[in-house]
């Protein structure tokens, strides 16, 4: 069986992939944070200390009211951003700035919509819904131990690799 990478640019270095992902997260997280600050729903309650002094604490609702809405907006933003740019030309803004692109493993083409959506969903949904700390670690480990294509779990689902852009 011929090597699927024959004729494709070299695989991307892990450091550049990580840096591109950090840039992409910042591109999405900063506006989402500003939106949450502007419209965030806060629940105030008063607590008395042992000496009778009132101390007011602020708690942000997490999965009720605006917290649920912000979670859904975050899912749409992260998954939508990754899906749109990956299906468009294989490059999120972070990847473009660092000279990387996502390519189909079998022929090096830009992923079609279904593959890009599957890749984005596996990349972001576990992180945003339940496994904020553990899922990114699992993805990093999967990229570091995968041979020979350096695929993360999200790449395996979509049958993609990340290569240097030509």
Residue by residue, DSSP assigns 113-131 as HHHHHHHHHHHHHHHHHT-
| Digitized pLDDT (tens) for each residue of the chain, 166 residues in all | 666 677 788 999 999 999 999 999 999 999 999 988 887 655 444 555 566 665 544 444 444 456 788 888 999 999 999 999 999 999 999 999 999 999 999 889 999 999 999 999 999 999 888 877 899 999 999 999 999 999 999 999 999 999 999 7
Q: Which helix (H) or strand (E) is 46 found in, with range?
A: strand 42-48
Every domain of the chain and the residues it spans: 14-164
What does the pLDDT read at residue 64? Answer: 47
Does pTM top 0.95 for this prediction? no
Instruction: State how far the Cα of 17 lies from the Cα of 132, in Å rounded to an integer.
Output: 19
* Per-residue DSSP letter, 98: T
């Amino acid at each position: 069986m011929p090597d699927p990478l024959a004729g494709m640019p070299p695989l991307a270095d892990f450091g550049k992939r990580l840096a591109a992902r950090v840039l992409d997260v910042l591109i999405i997280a900063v506006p989402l944070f500003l939106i949450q600050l502007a419209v965030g729903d806060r629940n105030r309650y008063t607590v008395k200390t042992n000496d009778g002094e009132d101390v007011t604490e602020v708690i942000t609702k997490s999965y009720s009211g605006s917290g649920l809405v912000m979670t859904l907006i975050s899912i749409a933003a992260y998954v939508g951003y990754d899906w749109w740019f990956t299906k468009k030309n294989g490059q999120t803004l972070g990847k473009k700035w660092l000279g990387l692109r996502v390519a189909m493993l079998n022929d090096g083409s830009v992923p079609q919509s279904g593959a890009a959506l599957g890749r984005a969903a596996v990349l972001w949904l576990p992180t945003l819904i339940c496994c904020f700390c553990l899922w990114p670690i699992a993805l990093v480990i999967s990229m570091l131990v995968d041979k020979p294509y350096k695929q993360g779990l999200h790449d395996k689902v979509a049958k993609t690799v990340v290569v240097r852009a030509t």
